[in-house]
Amino acid sequence: MRILVVEDEIRLAETLAQIIKQNKYSVDVVNDGEDGYDYAMSGIYDVIVLDVMLPKMNGFDVVREMRRQKNHTPVILLTARGEVTDKVTGLDCGADDYLTKPFSPEELIARLRALSRRKGEVIMDELVLADLELILSNNILQCGNKTVQLGLKEFEIMRLLLSNQNIIVPKEDMLLKVWGAESDAEDNNVEVYISFLRKKLAYLNSTVNIATIRKVGYRLEVKK
Amino acid sequence: MRILVVEDEIRLAETLAQIIKQNKYSVDVVNDGEDGYDYAMSGIYDVIVLDVMLPKMNGFDVVREMRRQKNHTPVILLTARGEVTDKVTGLDCGADDYLTKPFSPEELIARLRALSRRKGEVIMDELVLADLELILSNNILQCGNKTVQLGLKEFEIMRLLLSNQNIIVPKEDMLLKVWGAESDAEDNNVEVYISFLRKKLAYLNSTVNIATIRKVGYRLEVKK
DNA sequence: AAACAAATTCAGTTTATTTTAAGTTAAGCA
DNA sequence: TGCTTAACTTAAAATAAACTGAATTTGTTT
C-alpha cells in the first residue's frame, strides 16, 4: 500500500513518514499544496494524508480540485485543534476523514487502515465507534437493531465525542462548540446532557460508554 | 500551545498575557529572572517571552543557562530601544528572536507563531521514556498493553518528570507548578502523589521508576 | 391555545480527588 | 551504631466536582 503525505512542517512530515513506514506501508512526502495535488492526481496512492494549512494551495482546495477531476483517492485531512470547523467535520470538501493534531501514531494508522479498506468514495454520513453509529443526516443513534432519536444538543455532543475518539473533549469545548461563545450556559448543562446520553446508551445496550475525566472533560470508551 | 512570559513590569506583563490569551494560547507569567529560569526549564512551554532587564537574573543569563542545560525552548527577547546592542541582534546568547519595545500585539503574535512553527508546532501527543508513555490528550499512562488513567495532579506531576528527563525536578517546583504559587500545599502533598504514581508504575511493570534525590526532588530513572 | 418535545434550572445526592495527619521506614552523618 | 531528619505510606476526613430526577421554561406544531 502506498501513501502520500502532504505536509510543510518538515519535522512533522518526517515523523509521519516514519510512523507509516514502521507499519509496512510505502510513503512519499511532498511539502506544498501544488506538489501535493500533482502527486495525488497520479492515482498511484491508496490514501493521502493532507495537511489543511499548506503553502501555495490549501488542503481543502487540493481535495476539491481532485474530486472535480474525478480522482477519488481517499483523503485524510490533518487539522490543528482550532481549525476543526464544520467545513472539516462535515467533510463537505470531499475528504473522507480528518484527524486533529496532536494525535497518536495508533490513531493515524487505524484511520489509514479503515480508509484503505473502504477504498474511499463514500462520503461519510456516519460516525462509528465499536457497535455504535451516529447517523449525521438524521440525528439518529444506533446500536444493533435498536435506535434512538437524539435532540439537537444531544446530537452535537455525541458528534463531538465521536469525532474525538481517544481524546478527552473538555467540558469547556462542549460549551463553546455546542452552546456557543456568548451563551451563558454552565457546566451543569453539559452534565445534564451527558446524563441523557448515558441513559440512551444504556437503553441501546452499546459497549460504548462515556467516561468522565474529572476536572477536564469526557471521552468515549469501549467496554471489553 | 503554552507560553511563558517573564516580565517584571506588572502592567506590561498583564498586557502581554491578555494579548496572548486572546489568541487562544495558554500563558503563565512570572516576574523575575530566577523564576523565569525555573519555569522555563520545566520544558512545558512552546515559546518563552523574556524581558532582558529583570530582577535577580537578567534575560541573557537566563537563556544562556537554559542552553547550557540543554533546554532548547524557543525564546523571544524583549528589549527597550536603547538596549539593542550587538549582544541582542547577534542573538549569541542563544535566543531565537528579539522584539523592541514598544511593539504591536500583531507583531508579537506573528513572531510567536513563526517561532512555534519553526520548532515543529504540533509534535506528537505523547511523552516517552523507555517503555513508558504519557498520552497528553488523554491523561493516560501506558506501558506495554496496560494503561492507567491518571488524576489531574498525578498527570501534571508525571508530565513534569517526563519533560525533564535526566534533570532533577525540585519538590519546590512541583508545588509551584502543580499547586500554584498561592497554594499552601506542603511537601507532603507531593510525596503522597509520588507514592500514588509509584504504585501505578509498579502496576504497569514499567522499567521506569521515580528516584528520590533527598532534600532536592525527584527524577525518572530507567531500570536496567 | 393546547400539546408536545426540547432545553434549562435547581437541589439533593453521590462519587472522586485532594488534603491532612500519624505512624513507619530509610538515609545521612557524627 | 544510634540519632536526626527527610521521605514514605496509609487511612480517614474534607472538599469539590459530577450526577440525576423533577420542576420549570421555552419553543414549535397543529
What are the DSSP calls for A114-128, one per residue? Answer: HHHHHTS-SPP-EEE
pLDDT score of B121: 38
pLDDT score of B116: 66
Cell 501535493 belongs to A36
Assess B125–A contact: CB distance below 8 Å, yes or no. yes
pLDDT score of A16: 86
Do B175 and B189 contact (CB within 8 A), yes or no? yes
User: Residue A122 pLDDT > 50, yes or no?
Assistant: no
Which positions ≥6 away from A124 have C-beta within 8 Å?
A91, A96, A97, A136
CB atoms within 10 A of CB A211: 11
* Interface contact flag, A12 B120, Cβ < 8 Å: yes
Cell 480522482 belongs to A71
pLDDT score of B117: 56
Cell of A133: 453509529
pTM over 0.75: no
Three-class secondary structure of residue A19 per DSSP: helix
Q: What are phi and psi of B99, to 5 degrees?
A: -140, 130
Assess A101–B contact: CB distance below 8 Å, yes or no. yes
Alpha-carbon span B93 to B60, nearest angstrom: 6
Cell 494524508 belongs to A49
Q: Choosing among A15, A79, A104, A106, which should be mutated to test the B contact, i.e. which has the most B CBs within 10 A?
A: A104
Assess A209–B contact: CB distance below 8 Å, yes or no. no
User: Residue A90 pLDDT > 60, yes or no?
Assistant: no
User: Residue A138 pLDDT > 70, yes or no?
Assistant: yes
pLDDT score of A161: 92
Decide which of A70 and A37 is more confident: A37
Q: Which run of H or E residues covers position A180?
A: none
User: Residue A205 pLDDT > 50, yes or no?
Assistant: yes
From the CA of A139 to the C1' of D29: give the distance in Å: 20
Instruction: Give, as ranges, the nucleotides of chain D with any atom within 7 Å of a protein CB.
Output: 6-11, 17-22
Tell me the three-class secondary structure of chain B, residue by residue. CEEEEECCCHHHHHHHHHHHHHCCCEEEEECCHHHHHHHHHCCCCCEEEEECCCCCCCHHHHHHHHHHCCCCCCEEEEECHHHCCHHHHCCCCCCCEEEECCCCHHHHHHHHHHHHHHHCCCCCCEEEECCEEEECCCCEEEECCEEEECCHHHHHHHHHHHHCCCCCEEHHHHHHHHHCCCCCCCHHHHHHHHHHHHHHHHHHCCCEEEEEECCCEEEEEECC
Residues of B (122-161) placing their beta carbon closer than 7 angstroms to any atom of strand C are 149, 151-154
Three-class secondary structure of residue A182 per DSSP: coil
User: Residue A121 pLDDT > 50, yes or no?
Assistant: no
Decide which of B121 and A106 is more confident: A106
Q: Which residues of B touch A213 (CB under 8 A)?
A: 139, 149
The parts of chain B modelled with pLDDT lower than 50 are 86, 89-90, 118-124
pLDDT score of B168: 92
